[in-house]
């Protein structure tokens, strides 16, 4: 049987990837920590309340291909990142004041391959100034 209560908490998909696509996705919640919820607060899919819950179930992802950069990530030398070769994935969590205690303001991604730093692609599909990282402004577009 299914219980009455749920538990909602923020989630970070740090690296969802295969040889053809990559994404990173924060799923923030309006309540801190793990929160006991029921009803609408849980965002019940079966009742059509998915988007009414305290957590963002879909998240705000950055997928270079979907953001307009078709030649950024894939198998072969034609891509900025060649998935047939080893790479290091770096994810930075930056705060508004640069301290460990500050409020999160940006999630930045870059890669290192063949000794070279490769910045994340720019979200060209969102227009000028969309950037190449996840911020509140990026997620509002």
**Token pair for 54:** 């305290």
CB 55 within 8 A of CB 28: yes
**Token pair for 11:** 């989630």
The active-site residue, picked from 16, 49, 69, 106, is: 16
The active-site residue, picked from 11, 49, 69, 106, is: 11
Residue with tokens 């391959």: 113
CB 91 within 8 A of CB 108: yes
Cα–Cα dist 62/138, whole Å: 9
φ/ψ (deg, to 5) at 131: 85, -175
| Catalytic residue check, 16 | yes
Question: Catalytic residues, which ones?
Answer: 11, 16
């Amino acid at each position: 049987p299914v219980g009455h209560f749920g538990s909602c908490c923020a989630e970070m998909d740090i690296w969802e990837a295969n040889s053809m696509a990559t994404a990173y996705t924060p799923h923030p919640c309006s309540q801190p920590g793990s929160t006991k919820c029921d009803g609408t607060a849980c965002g019940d899919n079966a009742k059509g309340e998915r988007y009414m819950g305290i957590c963002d179930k879909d998240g705000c992802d950055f997928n270079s291909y979907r953001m307009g950069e078709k030649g950024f990530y894939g198998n072969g030398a034609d891509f900025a990142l060649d998935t047939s070769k080893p790479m290091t994935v770096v994810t930075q969590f930056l705060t508004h004041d640069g301290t460990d205690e500050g409020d999160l303001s940006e999630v930045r991604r870059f890669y290192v391959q063949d000794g070279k730093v490769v910045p994340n692609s720019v979200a060209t599909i969102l227009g000028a100034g969309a950037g190449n990282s996840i911020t509140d402004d990026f997620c509002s577009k």
